[in-house]
A and B are shown apart, each in its own frame.
Chain A
Amino acid sequence: MSYFLRKIGFYAVALWAALTLNFAIPRMLPGNPVDILLAKLQQRGGTVTPETREAYALLLGGDDTLPLWRQYIDYLGNLFQGDLGVSVSYYPAPVSEVIGQSLPWTVILVGLATVIAAVLGVALGAFVGWKPGTWLDSLIPATTLLAAVPYFWLALLLTYLLARVLGWFPLQGGYDVVLTPGWNAEFIGSAITYGFLPALTIVLASIGGWLLGMRNMMVSTLSEDYILTAEAKGLSPRKILRSYASRNAVLPSVAGFAISLGFVVSGSVITEQVFSYPGIGGRLLGAVSNNDYALMQGLFLFITLAVLGANLVVDLLYGLIDPRTRARS
């Protein structure tokens, strides 16, 4: 029991540290939201008079006059009430609404792509590791090459080939905007068509890591004595592959998988840029460039919570599925 308590205590401290950093870092950015808003307006040909500046300072400002410690207390207090504040760049929309609108896209696209990449990578890795030294090993350099190519380049190449030249997939967007989002076959079909290419690029770019990790674990697991014992008992190779070798070799990948699930909510800024795909990444980029503290904090909070949460789950699960971890502590 003390193992779990200690873990949870550690995560509470980590959460507090993360929340504090989350408060501090956006405030170290130069500039202020009113200036950025005005700069944006005038870039768009709007007329910006001294009166405009006053009006917008009045509309958006207010916070900055409070001393910093006061802002910090308010920030923590509001967080515990679930109030993330009001976004400046999407004023007057509340941060939770802005995030809530984008989150599903990210979770579904990046989440599914991560699951697919992990499952495929681990399965292929187990298979390749089962027969080391054969032609199958050439899968390793092939997939690591894909992972090593800068992601945006891979994405652009695939977009060019599959969307522009061959026209198999739509170039941009999350669905055909003529349709109304909802649980109907037409919309879901459209969303899948539009999401296929972005998902494909994420899978291709990340499968190499899973494959390599799993393959190497397989190779070292296969030299364990219990595999020899299993073979000596006369078990079928398939049975050994599935129940003895893979199960032990997959443990590090499970941990890695949980952590990468935590990063899903941070979205993929580059994927969203290349494909104009709706999601959290674009919001994050916009929040940073607009000095939108509240939105930045809200987004970082989600990411922090998801990563910490995923780690916590892994830690706790590890204690359950691998008794050795618990015994040693």
Chain B
Amino acid sequence: MMSLNIRRRSAAALLAGAAAIGLLATGCSSGGSGGSGDPATLVAYTGQAGDYQINFNPFSPSRIGALGTIFEPLFFHNKAQVSEPVPLLGTESAWNEDGTVLSVTLREDVKWSDGEAFDAADVAFTFDMIKANPAINTGGFDGEVAAVDDTHVTLTFAEPSFVRGPDLLSTPIVPEHLWKDVNPAEDVIEEPVGTGAYLLEDFKPQAFTYKANPDYWGGEPKVKQIRFLSLSGNQAGADAIAAGTIDWQTGPIPDIQNTHENFPNYDAYTQAQNQMVLATCSSAEQGCTGPQTDPAVRQALYYAMDRTQINSLAFMDTASDMSPTFALTPSQDSFVSAAVTEKTVPVEPDAAKAAELLEGAGWTKGEDGIYAKDGERLSLTIEVVTGWTDYITAVDTIASQAAAAGIEVKAAQSSWNEWTDKKGKGNFQLAIDSLWQGPTADPYYLYNYFFDSSSGAAVGEAAGNNYSRYSNPVVDDAMDALVQMPLDDAAGRQPFFDTIQAEIVRDMPYIPILTGGTTSVWNTTKFTGWPSDDDLYAFPAVWSALDAAEIFKHLEPQG
């Protein structure tokens, strides 16, 4: 009896004490702003959900930072705009005539942040290390690297490899003297030493901080500190913007059009980068089943969409035009074939055109207003991820628009894991998704990822990127030819782009919807120099490490 009483009393005292300390502490710290009080500190949120686990290995897929900011590549390639690569550790690069030897001239007088000098041996070491460790060789590097002298390196390949240039030159370079004893696949590099503009100041699971590198070869950056916070997700990020505790997040916030009116310190900038599509399991030869294996059905669906309505209902009018050739518009317009008549996707529905296409392919309208062929109703299911509300709204909108054109469309929601699994194995008819871009502004990469038959697979087997299982020898051949040509040979490459575009616009294994925007919200009162329409020097997304590193260097604190 005594003991129980004592315990209860002490618990009550503990509670009272805790409450008192709590109130006291609140009284002292003014507001508790999450640490953005210091004007020279930029606080960013990368979308990391939950705590950070330390990992500053630039080759690790679970890295939390260091790529670009601490470990620099040879060149920076801007994927937001067609432009010359920005020299970083390299100053010049050139391919030989047949694309088998890439020569790179390196910057002189660069030092690692521990004081050692950077030279060609480090570059050679980095590439050799990647080649020797298949688990980190994400670019499939199989060439020979040689340091000619302190400032010249050559990469030699057995086959023409022009198209690999941007990926190779974006490889982060690491110091030989520290990495020679490191297992690059498994070491988390708790104390990263690089050549970049920033140094790691401290790490905590809830936040990590960079500080400016005073000896950076390009001059000490003006933003002196960058802190990355961990929050619980995009919603928490939007809350933090509203509370003014973070300076940059890439992700949606409510009422995006009026960001500046709602939060006077902030501005929102949307860069159209991901082309949203209804991906189809397109190839009957590979085992796909369903009406969508008929190109006429895919075309009809393409014309049945009312994209103005989709954009306003599902995407808050942040989506933009798209070219049916999948060359990103407007930044890659120069690659679009002259033979393609529709430069951008139709914004208004064209039911007559859809009907004409379907009837031309032998479909007839049934009594219920839905087309049918050989007793098979034109009914399709679109797979969408649970909780991806913009896509779900888009699919519902498309369903009602398709019904008007005599096509029945149903939505099937599943978890992200299950959805990914269905796509990979080919157990789907249609899936709403977006296609991503390559390492630089060039449509070759997207064609290679999504339309090349080598990354497809039969239904039931796991496909690579080309999960539509599109397989077209004409496209494959054109792509093989493009590999043989330097990226800057626009005149030579264009005929092959024309061929690819003619084929994929006709076959349409991915039905274009619109180009989705990536929206960044950033603090324009504290910092200037953010990318803009006039000067889009990098793809503005805080989670895109190499781009973010470039942006950090451009920013200037105000006042």
Contact = CB atoms under 8 A, between A and B. Distances in A.
A170 B31 contact: yes
Interface string B35-56: 1000000000001011101110
A20 interface: no
Interface stretch (B393-401, B475-483, B539-547): B539-547
Contact of B135 (A59, A164, A194): A59
A177 B167 contact: no
A272 B232 CA distance: 7
Interface in A174-206: 174-178, 180-181, 189-190, 192-194, 196
B232 A35 contact: no
B77 to A, nearest CB: 11
B539 A120 contact: no
Contacts of A247: 1, 4
B204 A276 contact: no
Nearest to A195: B22
Interface string A86-126: 01011111000110011000000000100110011001000
A215 interface: no
Contacts of A289: 415-417
Contact of A59 (B21, B136, B454): B136
Interface stretch (A11-19, A36-44, A143-151, A217-225): A36-44
Contacts of A190: 25, 29, 32
A51 interface: yes
A257 to B, nearest CB: 11
A54 B135 CA distance: 8
Nearest to A93: B53
Interface stretch (B362-370, B371-379, B418-426, B503-511): B418-426
Contact of A286 (B22, B26, B49, B543): B49
Interface stretch (A73-81, A228-236, A277-285, A301-309): A277-285
A170 B32 contact: yes
Interface stretch (B5-13, B115-123, B299-307): B5-13
A30 B186 contact: no
A90 B61 CA distance: 9
A175 B206 contact: yes
Contacts of B18: 112, 116, 192
Contacts of A52: 138-139
Interface stretch (B174-182, B223-231, B285-293, B335-343): B223-231
A55 B436 contact: no
Interface stretch (B68-76, B237-245, B319-327): B237-245
A46 B240 CA distance: 26
Interface residues of A, number: 79
B51 A92 contact: no
Contact of A92 (B188, B229, B543): B188
A69 to B, nearest CB: 23
A196 B465 CA distance: 47
Contacts, number: 221
Chain B, interface size: which category?
A: 35 or more
Given A58-B135, A90-B55, A192-B25, A173 B34 contact: yes
Contacts of A90: 53, 55, 62
B507 to A, nearest CB: 21
A174 B455 CA distance: 45
Interface in B225-271: 227, 229-233, 236, 239-240, 242-243, 245
A193 B22 contact: yes
Contacts of B135: 55-56, 58-59
Contacts of B229: 173, 177
A278 B62 contact: no
A252 interface: no
Contact of B51 (A123, A176, A282): A282
Given A49-B139, A120-B15, A177-B204, A273 B227 contact: no
Contact of B49 (A171, A172, A193, A282): A282
B417 A50 contact: no
Nearest to B462: A35
Contact of A93 (B11, B29, B188): B188
B12 A119 contact: yes
Contacts of A171: 34, 239-240, 243, 245
A291 interface: yes
A53 B245 CA distance: 37
B172 interface: no
Contacts of A291: 417
B140 interface: yes
A141 interface: no
A47 B438 contact: yes
B417 A30 contact: yes
A208 B119 CA distance: 68
A32 to B, nearest CB: 8
A39 B140 CA distance: 19
B275 interface: no
A71 B310 CA distance: 48
A176 B32 contact: yes
A97 B188 CA distance: 13
A190 B32 CA distance: 8
Contacts of B51: 101-102, 278, 282-283
B418 A30 contact: yes
Contacts of B217: none
A177 B49 CA distance: 16
Contacts of A243: 1
30 contacts: A31-B418, A35-B462, A44-B47, A44-B541, A49-B140, A50-B140, A51-B139, A59-B185, A93-B55, A97-B53, A101-B53, A119-B15, A169-B26, A170-B31, A171-B34, A171-B240, A172-B240, A172-B243, A173-B34, A177-B207, A178-B35, A189-B25, A192-B18, A196-B22, A278-B51, A278-B205, A278-B230, A282-B51, A286-B49, A291-B417
Which 10 A/B pairs are nearest by Cβ-Cβ distance? A51-B140, A282-B50, A31-B417, A170-B32, A177-B207, A90-B53, A59-B135, A189-B25, A30-B418, A276-B231
Given A171-B239, A274-B232, 4 more contacts: A45-B79, A97-B53, A173-B206, A192-B21
